[in-house]
Amino acid sequence: MNQVSFNKVRLSLAVLLCLCATSMVNAKVKLPALISDGMVLQREQPIKVWGTADAGESVQVKFLKNATPTGVKGGKLKATYTATADENGQWSLTLPAMKPGGPYILQVNDIELKDILVGDVWLCSGQSNMELPVSRVTDMFRDEISAYENTNIRQLKVPNIFNFHAPQTDLPDYVAWKPLTQENVMNFSALGYFFAKAMYEKNNIPVGLINSSWGGTPVEAWISEEGLKEFPKYINDKRQYEDDAYLKSIKQTEGLSFYRWNTSLYRGDAGLHEATPWYAANYNDKDWKTVDLFSTDWGTNGLNPINGSHWFRKEVEVPQDWNGKEATLRLGCIVDADSVYVNGTFVGTVSYQYPPRIYTIPAGVLKAGKNTVTIRLISNNGYPHFVKEKPYKIVCGNEEVSLQGEWKYRLGASMPPAPGMMFFCYKPVCLYNAMIAPLQNYGIRGVLWYQGESNVDRRNEYAALLTAMIADWRSTFGNPELPFYIVELADFLSRDDVSGRQAWAEMRKEQAKVAETNRNTRLIRNSDLGEWNDIHPLDKKTLGQRAAESALENNK
């Protein structure tokens, strides 16, 4: 090959590589995570479709059923809707309002989204009583939950993320709409589940739940910086956490502190280091103190709590026909954490106080006659105890053996209180930025709000803060009449805790005040569904039905 020919070949290759590179960097149309397979779109409202692409790129959108444009309220969809990406690569367009129905197909250039429904979309938000999954209420509703599926009810769980910098425009790519099937049901919000079920049974219209909730979070975390302009204290608080390096340093220090505390606890716990560990089936506990399971003397020095590790052992007799069978161990709720052994075999652990302890005893562990249950309880701070009026038993088939009464007890290691933990998600603005702002273009029917437990200690300002949040969200979603359904706090705390119960009662009055003074805002009665010994009452079914009745009445 002569030099001229070689140069021509080299030039051709360079042009080809350049074209390939240009093709590779050209961004395809990208849709936000909310707009995806299986989504539910809000009926009888204009439907916004948006995303990103190369600047100047043409975007074509088709909404199809059986490959033809589908009917809409008052007419027909056009065959194609078009938009052009602006200089920043942003584009959007609006489809006409549609009647409920589906499934449909949405085509956006070369993207095809399937199994789309049109119905009612509800934003379910707040703290742990909204986040609480169906799996946590199966004690009360197991048969009903296991017998029900409905793919016309769907949930999108917004991941628990925060951002102190600015309102975000999208959610992480991994979020997905999930239909209500036995495979997915345990991760649905329990309140959302029963609410959606009641709604569907009444009107036979598809229901979409956007579950944007996070346990323990106060109301100010869910309000934008603009929405908090009348509350400068909270804006100033938020500004402390705008430096990512500072947040990282806090978590690094915190992690090191917890590591050292737990290392010290482990080294000082005799129950883990004696020749025969205290959880062993053959350990001799005859010299241990005998205590009642619900006594509290063992957890204090007479004035202050004893933090660290506390060991409990109980010998229980099981029937002959349980020999070798799988069984379930129920240990109510424990403050704070626990590791549990049966006949020396580890069967489960929970790291904080609220979840019910439900542990599987594997087949082959239990034997006819005497068996030993051992609990290593870890108290981080506060008063360690077993929560009363919860199930403490071993269940096998239709039979059970009680675990209440006397246990053997010994202190493993006494510790100072565990280091404090910084929950950034409790700080102002950060959840609005990450978990509400990205939803703003998506049509919703209304908001179901269950929150307030974390603001009881500041209840005197709650009505003002929640009123600010309602106005803020109505501005965000561009709907000054967006309905809000506020769930009243459930009754909680022992009758002996007079001041605590009074505080909760006063908080309920603040919630009622918000419902009374804000248009299109309703209070859902819930105080009578509470459990004195559990901040997370199980009866989310009655509550969900009440919320559905209120929503249906409001939408007549």
Predicted pLDDT at 11: 46
Of the candidates 68, 88, 116, which is a domain's last residue?
A: 116
What is the radius of gyration, based on Cα positions, of the chain? 28
Looking at 52, 85, 116, the residue that finishes a domain is: 116
- DSSP per-residue string spanning 311-324: EEEEEEEE-GGGTT
- Hey, which residues does 505 pair with through a beta bridge? none
Domain termination residue (choose one: 116, 138, 170): 116
Q: What percent of the chain has pLDDT over 70?
A: 93
The average pLDDT across 177-182 equals: 98
One domain for residues 371 and 478:
no
Between CA 434 and CA 127 the distance in angstroms is 15
pLDDT at 69: 59
Q: Are residues 273 and 391 in the same domain?
A: yes
Q: Is the pLDDT of residue 213 over 60?
A: yes
Residue 349 pLDDT greater than 80, yes or no: yes
Same domain, 300 and 389: yes
Q: DSSP states of 147-178 as a string?
A: T--EEEEEEEE------SSS--S---TT--EE
Mean pLDDT of 3-21: 47
Please state the pTM of the whole predicted model.
Answer: 0.92
Q: Has residue 4 got a pLDDT over 50?
A: no
pLDDT value, residue 130: 98
CATH code, 537: 3.40.50.1110
Q: Does residue 215 belong to any structural domain of this protein?
A: yes
Confidence of residue 6 (pLDDT cuts 50, 70, 90): very low
Q: Are residues 287 and 406 in the same domain?
A: yes
Report which DSSP code applies to 56.
T
Is there a domain that residue 135 lies in?
A: yes
Residue 79: per-residue pLDDT? 84
Quote the percentage of the chain above a pLDDT of 90: 92
At residue 17, the pLDDT reads 45
Residue 22 pLDDT greater than 90, yes or no? no
384 in a structural domain: yes
Extract the tokens encoding 492.
């909680």
